[in-house]
């Protein structure tokens, strides 16, 4: 049984595996732990990671990046519309996003789930090369703000790649588990916990959680995110400043995608340099800039990014308040993600928590390692990590109509029941499950009432949120409110302790259908078959290249 953890990131991915009784991250073909989240399509094969990033320079129209933010989103989504200019996108039959590319000399359209599945296939191959065995079971990280449709889309993508995810794990929770596994001096179970804040400012979002640690025990107390604060947002702010303030050669088209990429690359480099120096810096943009005398400094950066930086403080404050802890209760603050090193963000962390941020974990590897530890725990491979109890939470509330089923910070997994009155003689009713933060429909529940004969029915709806954060209505019963003034036989209504206390009695079970996002089985099977065929094509091209290289080597030897 495989033990694999996958950190599915916006800009890059990391894979961790268990081998030789230890869990460690895997190197890719270039000897790096981080693999760029890019898929490129050529005339003979697909490219992934570093190779895809190189391919994007000469083949940008067939190189797809940033696919994580499209997962589970509709084509009509406002974010999709605002960020799809770099790609040729189309609406799929399920209203999802499709990407038009040229593959093997033919025009093709791939869904977001397929593209993510392709990336997972590549990461799966890296893990299999490391452990020399087939990989199926795994734990995949997702941002804590991912909603029901986004999480189901990640699961579909994993199935396309031939993976069997045993859990989707929130990024910050995975990092917190890695912290708990590393620290050998945690308090005993019967002692007050060690409260640690995990701050992750990644490429596309800002995530914070507060975890309470004891030996072999982790409880997430609060979690907060902002999808509009991340490394890419800072890069774009710097790039906008460069385009507006700096002088370029007259023949430079600032709307050209390849030019914009060069400006963004220069902006990212400036951001990293300004984290270590207050000096004036000059952007390095390949042969595009005419006036190299223009500069930018840290103070200017903080000014042009002031709106984003203020949002960081809001997230930190909100998470701290929701944890219901005092400043003295916080033991330490651990930071992850490249942009967490920005001095302005560090200052805000210290301002809110009165603690200087630490980096005792490997920033790039912490999430993947935490996922691998979780995979070991869930698959029963306790010989690798031992026992560890994790209690995670939902970062948003889930409602049915206007009734809250699962309040924010409900434990995972959770069960609940709510009662709703319906009109007599109704043939059916469709309830929409709605997430309030952000507000969006995540599915519909259709309840069949055509056989209901009660004059004043009440529907008792029982629902659950599983460990993956997925909501499901699993039971609906028709009940009647008992008239307390009426003479009655107590035994007739005493079907359970709860119904007696609430003065309701069950009349009948009601048929219920859950309509959620995600692929139908037939569609998923088709995508799996397509992926298997594309893997065969990739492997044949690798064999062809290897054979050609061997023949060329022999030819050179004969020539000598």
CATH of the domain at 15: 3.30.420.40
What angle, rounded to 10 degrees, do the helices at 366-378 and 171-182 form? 80
Residue 121 lies in a domain: yes
Interstrand relation of 12-19 and 35-36 (parallel, antiparallel or unpaired):
antiparallel
pTM greater than 0.85 (yes/no) = yes
* Shared domain check, 480 and 331: no
pLDDT digits (tens, 9 = 90+) for 273-331: 998 888 888 777 765 555 445 788 999 999 999 999 999 999 999 999 999 999 999 99
303 and 335: one domain? no
Q: Is 366 part of a structural domain of the chain?
A: no
Q: Do 35 and 50 meet the contact criterion of CB atoms below 8 Å apart?
A: yes
Q: Are residues 388 and 399 in the same domain?
A: no
> Same structural domain for residues 18 and 91?
yes
The residue to which tokens 């199935």 are assigned? 159
The predicted pLDDT at position 554 comes to 87
Domain-located, residue 458: yes
Beta bridge partners of 505: 480
CATH of the domain at 273: 3.90.640.10
129 and 217 belong to one structural domain: no
Low-confidence ranges of the chain (pLDDT < 50): 291-292, 425, 436, 487-501
What residues make up the domain containing 119?
4-162+520-548
> In this structure, what CATH number is given to the domain that contains residue 509?
2.60.34.10
Q: 257-274 and 231-245 are packed helices; what angle lies between their axes, rounded to 10 degrees? A: 110
pLDDT at 291: 47
**pLDDT at residue 263 in the model:** 83
452 and 544 assigned to the same domain: no
Per-residue confidence (pLDDT) for residue 495, from 0 to 100: 39
Q: Which residues contact 325 (CB under 8 A, 6 or more apart)?
A: 195, 210, 221
* pLDDT recorded at residue 136: 93
Omega prior to 298 cis, within 30 of 0 = no
Domain identity same for 106 and 71: yes
Do 286 and 142 share a structural domain?
no
> Does residue 555 lie in a domain region?
no
Same domain as 207, residue 103:
no
Residues 415 and 496 in one domain: yes
Secondary structure (DSSP) of 51-109? HHHHHHHH-GGGEEE-GGGGTT-BTT-HHHHHH-TTS-EEE-TTSBEEEEEEETTEEEE
Q: Does 114 reside within a domain?
A: yes
Domain count, the chain: 4
Whether residue 168 is contained in a domain is answered as no
CB 375 within 8 A of CB 1: no
pLDDT recorded at residue 177: 97
Shared-domain flag, residues 408 and 426: yes
Instruction: Examine the domain organization and report whether 325 and 298 are in the same domain.
Output: no
Q: Evaluate whether residue 558 is within a structural domain.
A: no
The predicted pLDDT at position 414 comes to 93
Does a structural domain hold residue 170? no
């Amino acid at each position: 049984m495989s033990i694999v953890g996958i950190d599915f990131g916006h800009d890059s991915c990391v894979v961790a595996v268990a081998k030789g009784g230890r869990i460690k991250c895997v190197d890719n073909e270039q000897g790096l732990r981080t693999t760029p989240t890019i898929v490129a399509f050529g005339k003979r094969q697909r490219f992934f990671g570093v190779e895809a990033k190189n391919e994007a320079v000469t083949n940008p129209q067939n190189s797809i990046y940033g696919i994580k933010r499209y997962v589970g989103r509709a084509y009509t989504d406002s974010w999709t519309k605002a960020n799809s200019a770099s790609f040729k996108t189309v609406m799929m039959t399920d209203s999802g996003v499709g990407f038009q590319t040229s593959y093997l000399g033919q025009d093709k359209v791939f869904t977001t789930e397929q593209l993510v599945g392709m990336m997972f296939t590549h990461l799966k191959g890296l893990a299999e090369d490391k452990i020399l065995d087939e990989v199926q079971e795994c734990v995949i990280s997702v941002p804590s703000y991912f909603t029901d449709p986004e999480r189901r889309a990640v699961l579909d993508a994993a199935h396309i790649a031939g993976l069997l995810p045993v859990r989707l794990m929130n990024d910050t929770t995975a990092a917190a588990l890695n912290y708990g596994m590393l620290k050998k001096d945690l308090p005993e179970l019967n002692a007050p916990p060690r409260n640690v804040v995990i701050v992750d400012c990644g490429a596309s979002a800002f995530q914070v959680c507060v975890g309470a640690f004891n030996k072999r025990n982790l409880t997430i107390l609060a979690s907060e995110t902002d999808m509009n604060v991340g490394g890419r947002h800072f890069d774009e702010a710097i790039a906008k400043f460069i385009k507006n303030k700096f002088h370029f050669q007259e023949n430079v088209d600032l709307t050209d995608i390849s030019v914009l990429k060069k400006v963004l690359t220069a902006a990212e480099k400036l951001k990293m340099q300004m984290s270590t120096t207050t000096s004036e810096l000059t952007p390095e943009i390949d042969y595009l800039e005419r006036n190299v005398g223009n500069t930018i400094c840290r103070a200017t950066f903080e000014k042009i990014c002031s709106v984003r930086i203020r949002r960081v403080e809001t997230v930190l404050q909100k998470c701290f308040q929701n944890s219901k802890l005092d400043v003295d209760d916080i033991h330490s603050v651990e930071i992850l993600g490249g942009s967490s090193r920005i001095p302005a963000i560090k200052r805000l962390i210290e301002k809110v928590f009165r603690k200087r941020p630490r980096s005792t974990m490997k920033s790039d590897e912490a999430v993947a390692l935490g996922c691998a530890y979780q995979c070991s725990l869930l698959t029963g491979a306790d010989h690798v990590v031992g026992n560890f109890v994790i209690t995670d939470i939902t970062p948003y509330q889930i409602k049915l109509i206007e009734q809250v089923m699962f309040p924010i910070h409900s434990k995972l997994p959770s069960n609940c029941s709510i009662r709703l009155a319906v009109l007599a003689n109704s043939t059916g009713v469709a309830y929409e499950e709605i997430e309030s933060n952000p507000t969006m429909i995540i599915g519909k529940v259709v309840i069949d009432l055509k056989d209901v004969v009660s004059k004043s029915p009440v529907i008792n709806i029982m629902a659950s949120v599983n460990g993956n954060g997925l909501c499901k209505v699993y039971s609906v019963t028709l009940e009647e409110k008992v008239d307390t003034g009426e003479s009655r036989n107590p035994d007739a209504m005493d079907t359970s302790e709860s119904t007696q206390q609430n003065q309701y009695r069950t009349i009948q079970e009601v048929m219920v259908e859950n309509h959620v996002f995600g692929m139908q089985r037939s569609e998923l099977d088709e995508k799996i078959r397509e992926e298997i065929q594309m893997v065969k094509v990739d492997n044949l091209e690798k064999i062809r290249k290897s054979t050609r290289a061997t023949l060329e080597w022999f030819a050179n030897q004969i020539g000598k």
